[in-house]
């Protein structure tokens, strides 16, 4: 599989895999094709694959020689995992795989994956000013920030960063994203640019910056190197790690590094829990590492942020997160030239996420480390957790010990070991459950003994207080001597009456001013059974490269089953599921693997069960198109299971029908559908497609079933013929054409990003029955290793063609400007729902009316009501403006962009006036009466008109479909030949349903800029300006 540049279609989700918190030899992400595409590791982008290997019984020198002989090279030593980062040639993949798995001294293989970089009120909220008054500001404490880099020239961070190291693949350590700068200023920013208003938690701490992220994604080898540098080389007291990724039950290399470095160097790693909230078991890696101090996010009222990831930890039911901190609308430093968050003035931006919560805890740890310079990670973590302030309405799996309170932490003398207690999972049924006991040790670091009263608070899965006995301490009073310790046993008994599910609470110890909180948790399993799945490959052998997936039908649940011996067992709650398997058999170097997708849409779990998936039972899948020279660039076989307000999809991408099979098992499924799609092109002698004169797109949907085999021989009479022309792109840009099949009802497919010459032509042959086609044109700058860096996008709403008919379309010809294509969903373009106005206008459409977006150099979108500014953003014609008065008011929307993508449409400005009031109803969106003015003159292939002549410019006023508003009452058009410095009124006359503006071009070459104002009979107005609308020759 592989070989195609893939883009997700609408309604698609990638798949990830994982099972068992242990150390399988091979990382499952190596078989996750969609994940490889998202990370930019697929064949169309690079001919190497980055790996991380751990040495076993082999030396580094010997390993390097062995790897080189197998077609791989060591790119970075990673002693923290006793291994190295490796670049492996894909054409030697089979040889390398044999070397690494054949007992040649290598213990573990991981993909060098990529992970996401998931004050003024928040700093006082956590008690930092009290710590400052006590003399603790972080002075003498070194804090490492491993992130996207830090803008060291920001006024709040000048002189704060003692050292910067770049571990990323970018040429320097500057922050081009803004994430690391925001994090760093939350920790130790001076607040200089705000008169101290946005001062960080530990303003006198010393920062060191390790840039481990190129963009919003960070390679694991860079993170590993950064972790080791911060802890082992620089001796940082605390490391902030606001980065996360998918967690599996096994220990991944980042988790292993956090645990190892903590044990070896005493460094405290403060890690974001992740932004995958709303469901249990969503804490991300490496926040899942046992040694990490893992941080969830709360708002100003200490309510859990909806995005904040929750426990328990996958695999062993561990208590995570450990603590929470403010993470919603945090205003902190904005790196120069970046667009993270919502800008607040010139130097700051407001952002939300557990990434924003984490540096609050890091700063708190720095204050505590200054107070106790001899303390290492364990004691810092224990003290911050013991002193945390819980929200009684949240569970331990949502908040851990509670919201960080550094004012209490600096006075906290009693802590516990462990810092939290998980009693694991008690398997259903519970009548014969054995009580589980855990020992909690209280340490008193004070100079006086303390008598503690012990009590338990606990909540059940229904949110109600748990029955007495779910957690019981062996004593209600405990005396802890000065400088000493005392123990208590806590017992969890899941035999007690009450609903099945997750129980959590706190062991609360109080004595005078001393309060110690220790999170408790147990999983009282709901009715569940063992499901064992055996996966057989195309040769009948058990397959460790295959996996099965269970998708819940009664409720949202996703369970993957795999094991390297091809037999996997999982505990599965009673209910109805969709059960499927993807069976893979490697065929050697240069040969596509054999692949079989098999699905049983309805699988009832009501007892222990065993299921075998056998690739040999699959039926062949094939498609042919009328053009014999065409080769498949993308084959997509996918099924979808829809629920009430959620849908799963599972499938495969490949570029060969050889040994590709499918199999439907059992009865038809409800709200289950599948499709088989393929996209075809002609390759040149070098295997490239840019010069392909044609494209074939085929897609067919099946309701209630996955076809058991598929043979489609497409006839010309089933195809529409669309002759496409593409206008010239700006210098240095490349084009990619994508056509997404839209399969009724409202399910989307995938598309190949087909390199496209522009100017150029291509004929597209599109399968018609039951399919609409949604085309796009991406304009990109070639990026590193050839991966396109998209700068602009043209798109068209899904089109229904007629079989046997011919069509013509032209893309990317000027003038470029605002266009309002047909909307595809209720909130698209400019709407109001309740008391919120949503703006998302495509300002860079082409002459033919395709919508368009573009990267800009500067942007501003502002909304006014009755002359008063409501809000503004630094995004191109985009903003969500909440909390508007419900009464009808006069609104004014302003947008202004500049861009340097070529020399056309270098500025776009627009001003719209309209009235609006509250829109009643939940999820009801009312379209606002906004229009755009479109200029569509005939230009030459260079988007130019002749100088020194009269010229006719057709003009139309295009409103939002379904929006109120009257007919156009007046229209004026102005023209400028000096980039808008001076304007001349054009003669405008009616012409059918539009207008024509007459202008006289000057004799010299240059550019023409256009401005128009329209007013409708409802009083709504639009004033629109396009600088450099077209050229003069």
Write out pLDDT tens, residues 811-849: 999 999 999 998 888 888 999 999 999 999 999 999 999
Q: What is the pLDDT of residue 63?
A: 59
Q: Which of 147, 322, 405, 563 is catalytic?
A: 147
Q: For 535-552, what is the mean pLDDT?
A: 92
Neighbour-count burial of 980, counting CB atoms closer than 10 A to its CB (0-12 exposed, 13-18 middle, 19+ buried): middle
Q: What is the pLDDT of residue 114?
A: 45
Is cis: bond before 286, omega within 30 of 0? Answer: yes
Tell me how far CA of residue 781 lies from CA of 785, 822, 919, 991, in angstroms: 12, 29, 42, 40
Quote the DSSP letter at residue 374: T
Note whether 718 and 699 are within 8 A (CB).
no
**pLDDT band at residue 22, thresholds of 50, 70 and 90?**
very low
Q: At residue 631, does pLDDT exceed 90?
A: yes
**717 in the same domain as 670:** yes
pLDDT digits (tens, 9 = 90+) for 868-926: 999 988 889 999 898 999 999 999 999 999 999 999 999 999 999 999 999 999 889 99
**165 in the same domain as 82:** no
**624 in the same domain as 550:** yes
Cα R_g (the chain), whole angstroms: 31
Q: For 965-978, what is the mean pLDDT?
A: 94
Q: At residue 214, does pLDDT exceed 60?
A: yes
Percent of the chain exceeding pLDDT 90 equals 73
Q: Which residues pair with 933 in a beta bridge?
A: 957
Where does 182-258 show beta strands of DSSP type E? 206-211, 217-219, 238-241
Note whether 974 and 1012 are within 8 A (CB).
yes
* Position 381 in a domain: no
Domain that holds residue 909: 830-1032
**Over the range 844-883, which residues count as b (16 or more CB within 10 Å of their CB) and which as e?**
bbbbbbbbbbbbbeebbbbbbbeeeebbbbbbbbbbebee
Q: Rounded to whole angstroms, how far apart are CA atoms 411 and 520? A: 24
- Of the candidates 635, 758, 627, the one whose C-alpha atom is nearest the C-alpha of residue 690 is 758
Q: Which residues pair with 491 in a beta bridge?
A: 437, 472
**1010 in the same domain as 890:** yes
Instruction: Give CA torsion, residues 91, 93, 99, 100, to 10 deg.
Output: 150
Q: For 360-365, what is the mean pLDDT?
A: 98
Q: At residue 346, does pLDDT exceed 60?
A: yes
* Position 692 in a domain: yes
**717 in the same domain as 657:** yes
Q: What is the pLDDT of residue 799?
A: 94
Answer left, alpha or beta for residue 449, where phi above 0 means left and psi between -120 and 50 means alpha: beta
Quote the DSSP letter at residue 769: T
Q: Rounded to whole angstroms, how far apart are CA atoms 313 and 289? A: 9
Query: Is 355 part of the annotated catalytic residue set?
Result: yes
Q: Which of 78, 93, 113 is the last residue of a domain?
A: 113
Work out how many domains the chain is built from and give that number.
5
**121 in the same domain as 105:** no
Q: Which of 122, 190, 242, 355 is catalytic?
A: 355
**532 in the same domain as 520:** no
* Position 817 in a domain: no
Quote the DSSP letter at residue 31: G
Structure tokens belonging to residue 208: 């060191």
* Position 757 in a domain: yes
**624 in the same domain as 476:** no
Instruction: Choose the weakest-confidence range: 79-83, 627-631, 641-645, 694-698.
Output: 79-83
**579 in the same domain as 511:** no
Q: Rounded to whole angstroms, how far apart are CA atoms 423 and 440? A: 12
pLDDT digits (tens, 9 = 90+) for 913-969: 999 999 999 889 999 999 999 999 999 999 999 999 999 999 999 999 888 878 999
Q: At residue 633, does pLDDT exceed 60?
A: yes
Q: What is the pLDDT of residue 67?
A: 64
* Position 965 in a domain: yes
Q: Which residues pair with 833 in a beta bridge?
A: 836
Q: For 499-504, what is the mean pLDDT?
A: 96
- Of the candidates 529, 604, 607, 612, the one whose C-alpha atom is nearest the C-alpha of residue 567 is 612
Q: What is the pLDDT of residue 29?
A: 55
Q: For 689-716, what is the mean pLDDT?
A: 93
Q: For 315-334, what is the mean pLDDT?
A: 93
Q: How far apart are the first and last CA of the chain?
A: 50
Q: Which of 113, 137, 167 is the last residue of a domain?
A: 113
* Position 385 in a domain: no
Note whether 9 and 92 are within 8 A (CB).
no
Q: For 386-412, what is the mean pLDDT?
A: 96
Instruction: Choose the weakest-confidence range: 32-46, 216-230, 616-630, 954-968.
Output: 32-46
* Position 461 in a domain: no
Q: What is the pLDDT of residue 97?
A: 56
Q: What is the pLDDT of residue 190?
A: 96
Q: Which residues pair with 401 in a beta bridge?
A: none
Q: Rounded to whole angstroms, how far apart are CA atoms 990 and 1016? A: 15
**What are the two backbone dihedrals, phi and then psi, of residue 631, each rounded to the nearest 5 degrees?**
-125, 145
> Mean pLDDT in the chain?
88
Q: Up-side HSE of residue 519: CA atoms within 13 Å toward CB?
A: 35
Instruction: Choose the weakest-confidence range: 28-37, 174-183, 221-230, 765-774.
Output: 28-37
**220 in the same domain as 205:** yes
Q: What is the pLDDT of residue 27?
A: 53
**What are the two backbone dihedrals, phi and then psi, of residue 691, each rounded to the nearest 5 degrees?**
-90, 10
**pLDDT band at residue 172, thresholds of 50, 70 and 90?**
confident
Q: Which of 113, 138, 158 is the last residue of a domain?
A: 113
Q: Which of 42, 151, 168, 179 is catalytic?
A: 179
Structure tokens belonging to residue 969: 């009452």
Q: Rounded to whole angstroms, how far apart are CA atoms 888 and 890? A: 7
* Position 465 in a domain: no
**596 in the same domain as 639:** yes
Between these two residues, 57 and 589, which has the higher pLDDT value?
589
Q: At residue 98, does pLDDT exceed 70?
A: no
Q: Indicate the SS3 state at residue 446.
A: coil
**pLDDT band at residue 11, thresholds of 50, 70 and 90?**
very low
Q: Indicate the SS3 state at residue 906.
A: coil
Tell me how far CA of residue 486 lies from CA of 480, 500, 623, in angstroms: 5, 33, 73
Percent of the chain exceeding pLDDT 70 equals 88
DSSP string, 640-704: EEE-SS-EEEEEEEES--TTEEEEE-SSPPTTEEEEEEEEEE---TTS--TT-SEEEEEEEEEES
**pLDDT band at residue 8, thresholds of 50, 70 and 90?**
very low
Q: What is the pLDDT of residue 118?
A: 31
**124 in the same domain as 102:** no
Query: Is 32 part of the annotated catalytic residue set?
Result: no
């Amino acid at each position: 599989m592989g070989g195609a540049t893939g883009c997700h279609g609408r309604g698609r989700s990638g798949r990830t895999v994982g099972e068992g918190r242990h150390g399988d030899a091979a990382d499952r992400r190596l078989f996750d094709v969609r994940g490889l595409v998202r990370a930019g590791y697929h064949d169309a982008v690079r001919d190497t694959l980055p790996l991380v290997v751990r040495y076993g019984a082999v030396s580094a020198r010997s390993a390097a020689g062995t790897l080189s002989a197998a077609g791989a090279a060591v790119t970075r030593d990673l002693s923290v995992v006793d291994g190295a980062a490796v670049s492996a040639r894909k054409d030697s993949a089979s040889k390398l795989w044999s070397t690494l798995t054949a007992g040649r001294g290598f213990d573990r293989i991981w993909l060098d994956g990529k992970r996401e970089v998931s004050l003024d009120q928040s700093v006082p909220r956590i008690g930092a000013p009290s710590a400052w008054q006590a003399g603790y500001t972080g002075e003498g404490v070194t804090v490492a920030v491993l992130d996207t880099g830090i803008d060291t020239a920001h006024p709040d961070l000048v002189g704060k960063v003692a050292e910067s190291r770049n571990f990323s693949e970018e040429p320097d350590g500057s922050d081009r994203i803004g994430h690391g700068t925001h994090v760093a200023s939350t920790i130790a920013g001076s607040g200089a640019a705000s008169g101290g208003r946005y001062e960080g938690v530990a303003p006198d701490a010393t920062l060191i910056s390790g840039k481990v992220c190129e963009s919003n994604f960070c390679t694991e080898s860079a993170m590993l190197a950064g972790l080791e540098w911060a802890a082992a080389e620089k001796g940082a007291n605390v490391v902030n790690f606001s980065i996360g990724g998918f967690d599996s039950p096994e220990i991944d290399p980042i988790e292993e590094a956090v645990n190892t470095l903590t044990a070896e160097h005493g460094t405290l790693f403060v890690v974001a829990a992740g932004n995958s909230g709303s469901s249990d078991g969503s804490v991300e890696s490496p926040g899942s590492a046992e040694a990490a101090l893992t941080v969830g996010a709360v708002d100003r009222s200490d309510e859990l942020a909806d995005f904040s990831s929750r426990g328990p930890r996958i695999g062993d039911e561990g208590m995570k997160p450990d603590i929470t901190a403010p993470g919603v609308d945090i205003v902190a430093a904005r790196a120069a030239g970046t667009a993270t968050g919502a800008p607040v003035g010139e130097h700051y931006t407001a952002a939300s996420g557990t990434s924003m919560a984490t540096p609050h805890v890091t700063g708190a740890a720095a204050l505590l480390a200054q107070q106790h310079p001899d303390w290492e990670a364990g004691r810092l973590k224990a003290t911050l957790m013991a002193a945390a302030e819980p929200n009684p309405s949240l569970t331990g799996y949502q908040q851990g010990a509670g919201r960080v309170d550094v004012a209490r932490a600096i006075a906290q003398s009693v802590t516990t070991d462990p810092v939290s207690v998980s009693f694991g999972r008690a398997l259903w049924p519970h009548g014969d459950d054995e009580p589980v006991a855990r020992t909690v040790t209280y340490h008193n670091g004070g100079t006086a003994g303390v008598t503690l009263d012990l009590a338990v608070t606990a909540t059940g899965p229904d949110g109600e207080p748990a029955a007495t006995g779910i957690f019981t301490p062996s004593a209600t009073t405990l005396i802890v001597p000065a400088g000493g310790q005392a123990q208590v046993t806590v017992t969890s008994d899941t035999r007690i009456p009450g609903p099945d599910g997750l129980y959590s609470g706190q062991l609360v110890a109080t004595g005078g001013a001393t309060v110690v909180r220790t999170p408790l948790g147990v999983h009282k399993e709901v009715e569940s059974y063992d499901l064992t799945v055996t996966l057989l490959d195309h040769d009948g052998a058990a397959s460790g490269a295959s996996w099965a997936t269970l998708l819940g039908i009664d409720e949202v649940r996703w369970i993957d089953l795999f094991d390297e011996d091809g037999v996997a067992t999982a505990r599965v709650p009673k209910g109805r599921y969709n059960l499927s398997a993807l069976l893979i058999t490697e065929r050697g170097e240069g040969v596509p693997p054999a692949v079989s997708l098999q699905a049983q849409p309805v699988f009832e779990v009501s007892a222990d069960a065993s299921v075998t998936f056998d690739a040999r039972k699959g039926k062949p899948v094939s498609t042919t198109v009328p053009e014999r020279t065409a080769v498949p660039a993308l084959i997509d076989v996918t099924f979808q299971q829809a629920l009430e307000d959620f849908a799963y999809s599972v499938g495969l991408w490949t570029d060969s029908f050889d040994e590709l099979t499918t199999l439907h098992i059992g009865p038809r499924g409800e709200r289950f559908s599948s499709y088989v799609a393929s996209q075809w092109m002609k390759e040149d002698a070098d295997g490239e497609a840019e010069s392909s004169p044609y494209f074939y797109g085929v897609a067919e949907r099946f309701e209630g079933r996955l076809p058991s085999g598929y043979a489609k021989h497409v006839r010309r009479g089933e195809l529409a013929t669309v002759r496409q022309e593409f206008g010239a792109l700006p210098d240095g840009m490349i084009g990619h054409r994508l056509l997404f099949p839209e399969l009724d009802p409202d399910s989307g497919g995938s598309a190949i990003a087909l390199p496209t010459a522009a100017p150029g032509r291509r004929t597209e042959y599109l399968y018609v029955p039951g399919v609409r086609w949604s085309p796009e044109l991406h304009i990109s700058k070639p990026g590193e290793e050839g991966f396109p860096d998209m700068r602009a996008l043209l798109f068209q709403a899904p089109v229904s063609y007629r079989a046997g008919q011919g069509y013509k379309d032209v893309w990317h010809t000027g003038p470029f400007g605002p266009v309002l294509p047909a909307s595809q969903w209720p909130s698209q373009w400019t709407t109001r729902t309740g008391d919120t106005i949503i703006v998302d206008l495509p300002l860079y459409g082409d002459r033919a009316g395709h919508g368009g977006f573009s990267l800009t150099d500067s942007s501003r979108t502002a909304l006014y009501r009755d002359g008063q500014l409501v809000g503004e953003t630094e995004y191109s014609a985009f903003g969500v403006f909440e909390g508007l008065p419900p009464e009808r008011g006069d609104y004014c929307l302003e947008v202004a962009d500049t861009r340097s993508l070529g020399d056309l449409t270098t500025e776009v400005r627009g001003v719209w006036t309209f009235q609006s009031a509250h829109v009643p109803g939940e999820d009801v969106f009312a379209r606002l009466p906004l229009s755009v003015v479109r200029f569509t003159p005939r230009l030459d292939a260079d988007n130019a008109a002749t100088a020194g002549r009269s010229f006719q410019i057709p003009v139309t006023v295009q409103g939002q479909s379904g929006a109120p508003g009257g007919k156009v009452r007046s229209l004026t058009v102005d023209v400028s030949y000096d980039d808008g410095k001076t304007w001349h009124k054009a003669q405008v006359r009616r012409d059918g349903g539009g207008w024509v503006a007459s202008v006289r071009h000057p004799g010299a070459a240059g550019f023409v800029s256009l401005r128009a104002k329209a007013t409708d009979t409802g009083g709504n107005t639009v004033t629109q300006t396009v600088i450099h609308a077209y050229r003069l020759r």
